[in-house]
């Protein structure tokens, strides 16, 4: 495959980072608003958690589907169209009068999440010179951490001040502004080639890819089994009010930004080792957050550790899968996004069922067990180390163009 010429530069990279910020904030918005959404629509916390589960499931299917459906369309206009749809979905969500309507609109959000991530994850190499690709990739992925710093806490704050509907409306306006920025700042991005469904499926024959995807599912599902319900858990465990909860989520996000760049540097040397440290830290901290001990100070310290660890997950897991399939960047990105969002949905669903059937703290204990499973896989299967047969399979998959 001919390497795309670098073009667009830093402004284009920042616009793409703003798009990843927008999709992650849109996806995570219910985390800080779960209690008021449930109260406003008259549903329990577990049911309100469907606003997290559904977009994740849809995004998992949308990532490879949108990639294949886009064919040879200019990727700039694919991103612009998806961001415009995301803005409209958020604005309409502010008007939803029933949980079924809100969940239906979250289906559209899921399509946009999967499509934007599948396109954006591999764009850095086309926007900047080769020497800057690593930094540009970290910047694009930093949208996740910045969404935690600004998006989710800002949504929680807007919900406490003006109601959850205002938070959705505000996010809709932000998405439309990012749509305009993408249209202006991105250069033409003609498709390098069409990605076919069988190429994506073919990567599943690579042992390193399979093990890497399992790690993604276990870590992300474990995280969201607990994080989806972090607000009500903190309310019970530390006695924190709405204002303090917003502050704790802000601290989580600041730590997440630091974790993103720290893990990016570590993953450049060894994504497997970086993920092993992350998994061990998360497996310990998730259950600890649910224990009512030490009040707000202890809760704040644990939340910072949680954010620092989870902030490095996206860039490290992307590095793990890229190392396993270096010749199939777009196909690997589609699988990564699909697995990531399946795990979000699975984690929110399992956490919701455990929260309703057992207790809210039990959801965090479940999350810790799932992440511990990822640490076991990283220790036993070593997905970052590919044997010669796996490398040959990856090369064969990358060369399958017919």
What's the CA gap between 221 and 115, in Å, rounded?
20
* Both tokens assigned to 6: 């670098």
Taking the CA atoms of residue 368, residue 374, residue 378 and residue 383 in that order, the dihedral angle to the nearest 10 degrees is -160
Cβ(164)–Cβ(32) under 8 Å?
Answer: no
**pLDDT band at 222, cuts 50/70/90?**
very high
If you average pLDDT over each of 230-234, 236-240, 265-269, 366-370, which comes out highest?
366-370
**pLDDT band at 280, cuts 50/70/90?**
very high
Q: Kindly give the interhelix angle for 329-357 and 313-324, rounded to the nearest 10 degrees.
A: 140
Cβ(60)–Cβ(100) under 8 Å?
Answer: no
Residue 100 CB partners (closer than 8 Å, separation 6+): none
- Residue 181, pLDDT score: 93
- Residue 192, pLDDT score: 64
Residue-wise pLDDT for 24-36, tens only, equals 888 888 877 777 8
What's the CA gap between 116 and 75, in Å, rounded?
10
371 pLDDT above the threshold of 60 = yes
Cβ(199)–Cβ(254) under 8 Å?
Answer: no
Cβ(56)–Cβ(117) under 8 Å?
Answer: no
What's the CA gap between 26 and 147, in Å, rounded?
9
DSSP string, 287-323: HHHTS--SHHHHHHHHHHHHHHHHTTHHHHHHHHHHH
Other C-beta atoms within 10 Å of 161: how many? 12
Tell me the average pLDDT across 326-355: 78
Other C-beta atoms within 10 Å of 115: how many? 27
Q: Distance from CA of residue 48 to its chain's centroid?
A: 19
Tell me the average pLDDT across 182-195: 78
What's the CA gap between 5 and 130, in Å, rounded?
9
Nearest residue to 277 (alpha-carbon basis) of 135, 209, 381, 374: 374
**pLDDT band at 350, cuts 50/70/90?**
confident
308 pLDDT above the threshold of 60 = yes
Going 30 to 16 to 273 to 338, the CA torsion angle's sign is positive
Cβ(15)–Cβ(181) under 8 Å?
Answer: yes
Backbone phi and psi for residue 121, each to the nearest 5 degrees, phi listed first: -60, -35
Going 76 to 136 to 112 to 35, the CA torsion angle's sign is negative
Considering the entire predicted model, what is its pTM?
0.71
* Both tokens assigned to 122: 């591999």
Tell me the average pLDDT across 74-102: 90
DSSP 8-state secondary structure symbol assigned to residue 120: H
Tell me the average pLDDT across 347-364: 83
What's the CA gap between 258 and 313, in Å, rounded?
12
84 pLDDT above the threshold of 90 = yes
Residue 191 CB partners (closer than 8 Å, separation 6+): 70, 71, 72, 73, 74, 75
- Residue 396, pLDDT score: 45
């Amino acid at each position: 495959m001919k390497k795309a010429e670098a073009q667009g530069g830093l402004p284009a990279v920042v616009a793409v980072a703003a798009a990843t910020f927008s999709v992650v904030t849109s996806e995570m918005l219910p985390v800080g608003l779960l209690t008021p959404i449930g109260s406003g629509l008259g549903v329990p916390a577990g049911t309100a958690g469907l606003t997290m589960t559904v977009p994740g499931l849809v995004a998992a299917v949308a990532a490879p589907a949108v990639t294949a459906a886009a064919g040879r369309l200019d990727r700039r206009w694919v991103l612009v169209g998806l961001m415009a749809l995301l803005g409209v979905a958020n604005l309409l969500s502010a008007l939803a009068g029933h949980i079924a309507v809100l969940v239906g609109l979250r289906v559209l959000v899921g399509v946009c999440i999967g499509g934007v991530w599948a396109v954006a994850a591999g764009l850095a190499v086309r926007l900047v010179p080769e020497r800057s690709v690593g930094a540009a990739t970290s910047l694009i992925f930093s949208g996740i951490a910045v969404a935690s710093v600004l998006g989710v806490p800002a949504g929680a704050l807007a919900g406490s001040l003006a109601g959850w509907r205002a938070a959705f409306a505000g996010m809709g306006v932000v998405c439309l502004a990012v749509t305009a920025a993408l249209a202006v700042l991105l250069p033409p991005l003609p498709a390098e080639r069409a990605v076919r469904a069988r190429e994506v499926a073919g990567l599943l024959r690579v042992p390193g890819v399979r093990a890497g995807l399992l790690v993604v599912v276990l870590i992300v599902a474990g995280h969201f089994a607990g994080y989806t319900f972090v607000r009500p858990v903190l309310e019970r465990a530390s006695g924190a009010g709405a204002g303090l909860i917003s502050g704790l989520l802000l601290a989580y996000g600041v730590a997440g930004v630091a974790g993103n760049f720290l893990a990016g540097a570590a993953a450049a040397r060894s994504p497997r080792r970086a993920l092993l440290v992350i998994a061990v830290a998360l497996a310990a901290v998730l259950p600890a957050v649910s224990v009512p001990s030490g009040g707000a100070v202890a809760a704040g310290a644990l939340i910072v550790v949680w954010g620092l660890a989870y902030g490095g997950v996206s860039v490290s897991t992307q590095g793990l899968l890229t190392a396993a399939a270096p010749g199939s960047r777009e196909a690997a990105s589609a699988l990564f996004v699909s697995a990531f969002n399946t795990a979000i949905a699975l984690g929110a669903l399992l956490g919701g069922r455990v929260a309703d059937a057992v207790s809210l703290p039990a959801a965090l204990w479940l999350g810790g067990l799932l992440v511990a499973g990822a640490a076991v896989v990283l220790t036993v299967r070593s997905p970052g180390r590919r044997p010669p047969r796996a490398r040959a399979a990856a090369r064969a998959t990358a060369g399958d163009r017919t």
